[in-house]
């Protein structure tokens, strides 16, 4: 690890991440802007290339780049991506949504709308989201809570909200024409139920859902158990929502290097709640430490088991614990490598677990 | 859920499903026929559209449909599909095959042939099947039974039958040129063995199998344990065979809305035997209740575990129990949403668990 | 099984396999050479076809082959593939690499280079490999050993070696620009660490890895536990590395019929260490006997469980035991049938477990 990478400086790393700024990043010489960190040959990388340009006005084509020059160019693109991580982008999803209280009922307001979302630095794409963020705001309640969720549809097509994993009464299940009529453009609908079962769940569209969930109508719905002692005590509690549709390969609505690292101090316990809202499996691989799998779809496993690569299928949630024993910055990525790296560098489903 | 949907009427729902008729369905106004419930813009849906037609003889093109009109049209297509469920189609697979007894041997006759199979209303496709049904007839025996299976090949190419999951003697394993010669067109072959191990197994072609299984040469082979007490007592015992090849995304040989719902009374226990005969994973998601996984490939899991989304890979069988505690009609579908829904409505790998 | 298949002769089978020769194979009449055993219509199969050729100088096109002739031709292609198994090809991967000892340190030298690799008989393809073999040489050490791995890069682009599953210190993790600078073409790099955790692990490139691993920069890194009693006693210990990228569907760098069977005597216990270095899942199905799953990613499962089809996702390792109780030659293949068979016969991810 090169000494000029701020990720290597334990005294500044946490501050750096918290500030979410690129100001302290040591940008390699010749890389003035990082316009594209996703698989497209960046101007920065081109500038870093050793390929000589053809003189202006000269008719002969430039000689093809040497193998050495191509190798240098590839390395420069990879380095630029890593050095940019964690890159600042506009917008942050999965922010905890505080409820309003109405006579003992926790009330949440969700508005569906179309926004431009910055997936990676400079890469803005149309997204359909809840409350202007992707993933939608995190709803976090306790088993037995009474909740009311007001949904307003500002999209050009009808929608519905399904509480994936929650065993709600049938008429609150959010399936158009089976349990309710869809929520028309401009209309609103209210869901209300007593939170039935604990665990890591999701809410998302269940109408034209291959499109609507793919475009971003999704979020985490986490239910803490009635008895807090039923859950393991953890120091860091992270959600990692996987998606692979309209916005490419993303973790919590961002692609590398705009993904957010998970940061823990040595000795701490990290809980990660994987949720797959995409259409493909994603076997997430953690370097340097293993994961202990404790729950599937919000239900505790009969016995925890260990792995370093956890295959997460669409619709599944898996909860794991990681004991942060091994200091350093550890790659954490989908092991379908085409979801994580190209000749232009790492992209998509890559983040890091940083143990300080 | 709208009141005019017969699925909502507890007193008529079960009769309705048993009769397998559309007669009592409340077809939305303007939807005279339901020619296509799979992803193709149906005439019904077109009729339901608010888009004005261009007057005959007028040269100006019709204005593009408004966003509102398009949203209405999409909703109408979705509604038509749901209202049609469970749609009547010709042919039903996985019917229990009664054996002939020959001096203590249970004898089954299987004939392979080509038929036209109605996957969804009005959608007939060429299929290669056993005994004119897709999936083939269910063979259900007890551990230790002696069985004889006479296979006659009426297909234009050779075939072989493999008993997937059964630990039969090598010469009964059905692999061409390794354990036997293929069964030529017009020829017959007899398999005979003592049923070795209990569980949810399958029989299918093992010759040119990517094509032959994809075309429908498959069925359930269920073995009850010698000691009936070794199995959980259940009220409903359902098979769900997944396929994704020649006939699109199907459950037991049908695509939504022609799939058959699973029906249980409140408090009953349902066993579902998932079997994947396709080439892709299918994470099956049940709404409203969880599944308790009890067996993998016919072998009991060391400890049952719970989930609401179960990832089923090609060749796998998973047995689950569902306690029917939550009344209503619950969507039950593959959570690779592109296997279950398009802008034209739900299709393919969608069914329902109906708790009365 | 036909009597002229040497696989059926228990007295010669083992010798045959050990010699790795085709000399004793009974080639069907008319099949003089087996130029292609992968999905392309082989000359052998064409020769076996009953289709009459159009007479020379005659203008009328040849009549299309009859259904019977096509069925015969398909069977001949299937038979030729099976009869050729296990086919001799040049090169063998996963050979145990003996370390040099340097004052208590086990020293391994790995050289990355480009070679032509024979995937299946006559099918040579460009590969990027360690020490001229695919998979790279097997590194097998004991928990607590001190190891040093010298990597020399003779490829036209930079590389890095990641020890997938090993909880090494961060600076030995092999991720370019995060834990080290990439190893440039012509350069060398040394890794050294004390082997931290036992189990079935892997080493592979972590730079431009979708390409480099896909091209063959991968190998098994097996760590025996410090206490030998912690591992089950087995008679046969096999590695099965799955890949699906540059060289098609392969097991240990070869496609059927060039794959190597696993051979055991009746009553013996076989351990199989599945490792997926590809980009797709591969549900491996064993005929005739079940597998008892004992470890995931090198970590013992809390309770062993049984199956006959094990879904292995990219980056995962699964260890299973098979009790060789059922004599015969048993197909053992990926149950995504398109990875294992076409109309031209079996290919790719097919091998056999032979119980003598």
Name every chain A residue with its beta carbon within 8 A of the beta carbon of C189: none
Give the nearest chain A residue to B288 (CA atoms): A167
Neighbouring CB atoms inside 10 A of B225's CB total 16
Please tell me the distance in Å from A93's CA to the nearest CA on chain C.
Answer: 26
- Predicted confidence at residue A61, as pLDDT, reads 66
Contact C315 A309 (CB under 8 A): yes
Separation CA B164–CA B201 (nearest Å): 6
Output A54 or B155, whichever has higher pLDDT: B155
Please tell me the distance in Å from B157's CA to the nearest CA on chain C.
Answer: 5
pLDDT digit string, tens, across residues A30-75: 333 333 333 444 433 443 343 444 444 455 667 777 888 989 999 9
Whether the CB-CB separation of B298 and B225 falls below 8 Å is answered with: no
User: Following DSSP, what letter does each residue of A142-174 receive, concatenated?
Assistant: ETT-EEEEEEEE-SSS-B-EEEET----GGGS-
The chains in contact with chain C, meaning 3 or more Cβ pairs closer than 8 Å, are: A, B
Please tell me the distance in Å from B242's CA to the nearest CA on chain A.
Answer: 16
Cα-Cα end-to-end distance for chain A: 15
Separation CA C236–CA C228 (nearest Å): 16
Interface of C with B in 272-331 (CB under 8 A): 281, 283, 285, 287-290, 303-309, 311, 326-331
Closest Cβ opposite residue C279 in set A308, A326, A337:
A337
Separation CA C42–CA C49 (nearest Å): 11
Separation CA B69–CA A209 (nearest Å): 19
List % helix, strand, coil for chain B (3-state, nearest 5): 15, 40, 45
Please tell me the distance in Å from B38's CA to the nearest CA on chain C.
Answer: 25
Task: State ipTM.
Answer: 0.86
Name every chain B residue with its beta carbon within 8 A of the beta carbon of C337: 209-210, 213-214, 279, 314
User: Average pLDDT for residues A301-316, to the nearest whole number?
Assistant: 98
- Predicted confidence at residue C67, as pLDDT, reads 80
Give the nearest chain B residue to C337 (CA atoms): B210
Separation CA A156–CA C80 (nearest Å): 59
Separation CA A10–CA A2 (nearest Å): 14
pLDDT digit string, tens, across residues A183-206: 999 999 999 999 999 999 999 999
- Going A184 to A186 to A187 to A188, the CA torsion angle's sign is positive
- Tell me the backbone φ, ψ of residue A44, rounded to 5 degrees: -60, -45
The chains in contact with chain A, meaning 3 or more Cβ pairs closer than 8 Å, are: B, C
Contact C316 A303 (CB under 8 A): no
| Adjacent-strand bridge partners of A224 | A142
Asked if residue B43 has pLDDT above 90, the reply is: no
Name every chain B residue with its beta carbon within 8 A of the beta carbon of C290: 167, 197, 297, 299
Separation CA A265–CA A325 (nearest Å): 9
Please tell me the distance in Å from A157's CA to the nearest CA on chain B.
Answer: 5
Asked if residue A27 has pLDDT above 90, the reply is: no
Residue B245's nearest CA partner among B225, B215, B218 is B215
pLDDT digit string, tens, across residues C69-94: 989 999 999 999 999 999 999 999 99
Rounded to whole angstroms, the maximal C-alpha distance in chain A is: 80
A4 cis-preceded (ω within 30 degrees of 0): no
Asked if residue A120 has pLDDT above 90, the reply is: yes
User: Following DSSP, what letter does each residue of B162-220 receive, concatenated?
Assistant: EEET----GGGS--BTTTB--B-TT-EEEEEEE----EEEEEEE-SSHHHHHHHT-EEE
Query: With helix as H, strand as E and coil as C, how does C125-193 read?
Result: EEEEEECCECCCCEEEEECCCEEEEEEEECCCCCECEEEECCCCCHHHCCCECCCECCECCCCEEEEEE
Asked if residue B8 has pLDDT above 90, the reply is: no
Interface of C with A in 170-229 (CB under 8 A): 170-171, 173, 175-182, 184-185, 197, 206-211, 213-214
| Adjacent-strand bridge partners of C175 | none
Query: What stretches of C216-313 show up as alpha helix (H) in DSSP?
Result: none
Separation CA A176–CA A187 (nearest Å): 14
- Predicted confidence at residue A33, as pLDDT, reads 32
**Residues C317, C321, C327: CA angle, nearest 5 degrees:** 130
Whether the CB-CB separation of C303 and B302 falls below 8 Å is answered with: yes
Cα-Cα end-to-end distance for chain B: 15
User: Average pLDDT for residues B50-79, to the nearest whole number?
Assistant: 72
Separation CA A95–CA A110 (nearest Å): 13
Separation CA A270–CA A233 (nearest Å): 9
In angstroms, what CA-CA distances link A114 with A155, A156, A174, A192, B216?
6, 9, 21, 25, 43
Give the nearest chain A residue to C279 (CA atoms): A336
Separation CA A3–CA A14 (nearest Å): 17
pLDDT digit string, tens, across residues A10-25: 333 444 343 333 333 3
Which band of pLDDT confidence, cut at 50, 70 and 90, is reported for residue C3?
Answer: very low
Residue C89's nearest CA partner among C249, C219, C259, C217 is C259
User: Average pLDDT for residues C291-309, to the nearest whole number?
Assistant: 98
Element (H, E) at B238: strand B236-243
- CA gyration radius for chain C? 22
Give the nearest chain C residue to B312 (CA atoms): C311
C42 in helix, strand or coil?
coil
Whether the CB-CB separation of C49 and C73 falls below 8 Å is answered with: yes
Compute CA C306 distance to the chain's CA centroid, rounded to the nearest angstrom: 23
- Predicted confidence at residue C327, as pLDDT, reads 98
Contact A185 B70 (CB under 8 A): no
Q: What is the mean pLDDT of chain B?
A: 87
Is C160 exposed, middle or buried, given 0-12, 13-18 or 19+ CB atoms closer than 10 A?
buried
Which band of pLDDT confidence, cut at 50, 70 and 90, is reported for residue B46?
Answer: very low
Chain C interface disruption, residue of B159, B315, B317, B319, most C CBs within 10 A: B315
**B218 Rama class: left (phi>0) / alpha (psi -120 to 50) / beta:** beta
Say which range, B295-299, C57-61, C76-80, C204-208, has the weakest mean pLDDT.
C57-61
pLDDT digit string, tens, across residues A215-260: 999 999 999 999 999 999 999 999 999 999 999 999 999 999 999 9
Asked if residue A286 has pLDDT above 60, the reply is: yes
Please tell me the distance in Å from C226's CA to the nearest CA on chain B.
Answer: 28
Which band of pLDDT confidence, cut at 50, 70 and 90, is reported for residue C213?
Answer: very high
Separation CA C91–CA C113 (nearest Å): 15
Which band of pLDDT confidence, cut at 50, 70 and 90, is reported for residue B59?
Answer: low
Characterize the bridge pairing of strands C350-355 and C262-264: parallel
- Predicted confidence at residue B61, as pLDDT, reads 66
In angstroms, what CA-CA distances link C22 with B54, B175, C13, C19?
73, 22, 12, 9
Contact C79 B156 (CB under 8 A): no
Name every chain C residue with its beta carbon within 8 A of the beta carbon of A309: 297, 313-317
Query: What stretches of chain C show up as alpha helix (H) in DSSP?
Result: 10-19, 43-48, 67-84, 209-215
**Residues C343, C346, C352: CA angle, nearest 5 degrees:** 160
Name every chain A residue with its beta carbon within 8 A of the beta carbon of C180: 1
Whether the CB-CB separation of A266 and A327 falls below 8 Å is answered with: yes
User: Average pLDDT for residues C312-331, to the nearest whole number?
Assistant: 98
Asked if residue B243 has pLDDT above 60, the reply is: yes
Please tell me the distance in Å from A131's CA to the nearest CA on chain B.
Answer: 21
């Amino acid at each position: 690890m090169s000494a000029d990478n701020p990720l290597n400086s334990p005294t500044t790393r946490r501050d750096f991440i918290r500030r979410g700024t690129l100001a302290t990043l040591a940008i390699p010489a010749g890389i003035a802007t990082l316009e594209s960190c996703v698989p497209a040959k960046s101007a920065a990388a081109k500038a870093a290339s050793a390929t000589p340009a053809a003189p202006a006005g000269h008719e002969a084509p430039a000689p093809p780049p040497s193998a050495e020059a191509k190798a240098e160019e590839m390395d420069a693109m990879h380095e630029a991506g890593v050095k940019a991580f964690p890159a600042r982008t506009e917008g942050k999803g999965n922010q905890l949504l505080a409820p309003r209280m109405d006579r003992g009922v926790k009330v949440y307001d969700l508005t569906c709308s179309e926004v431009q979302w910055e997936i990676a630095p400079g890469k803005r794409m149309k997204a359909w989201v809840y409350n202007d963020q992707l993933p939608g705001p995190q709803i976090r309640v306790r088993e037995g809570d009474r909740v009311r969720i007001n949904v307003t549809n500002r999209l050009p097509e009808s929608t519905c909200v399904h509480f994936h994993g929650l065993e709600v009464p049938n008429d609150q299940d959010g399936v158009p024409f089976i349990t309710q009529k869809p929520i028309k453009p401009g209309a609103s609908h209210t869901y209300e139920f007593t939170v039935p079962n604990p665990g890591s769940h999701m809410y998302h569209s269940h109408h034209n859902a291959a499109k609507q969930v793919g475009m971003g109508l999704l979020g985490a719905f986490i239910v803490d158990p009635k008895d807090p002692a039923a859950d393991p005590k953890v120091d860091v509690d992270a959600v990692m929502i996987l998606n692979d549709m309209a916005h490419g390969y993303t973790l919590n609505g961002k692609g590398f290097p705009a993904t957010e690292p998970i940061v823990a101090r040595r000795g701490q316990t990290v809980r990660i709640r994987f949720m797959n809202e995409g259409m493909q499996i994603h076997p997430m691989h953690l370097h340097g430490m293993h994961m202990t799998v404790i729950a599937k779809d919000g239900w505790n496993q009969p016995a925890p088991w260990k792995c370093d690569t956890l295959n997460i299928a669409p619709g599944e949630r898996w909860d794991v614990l990681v004991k942060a024993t091994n200091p350093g910055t550890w790659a954490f990525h989908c092991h379908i490598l085409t979801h994580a790296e190209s000749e232009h560098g790492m992209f998509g489903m890559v983040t890091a677990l940083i143990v300080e």
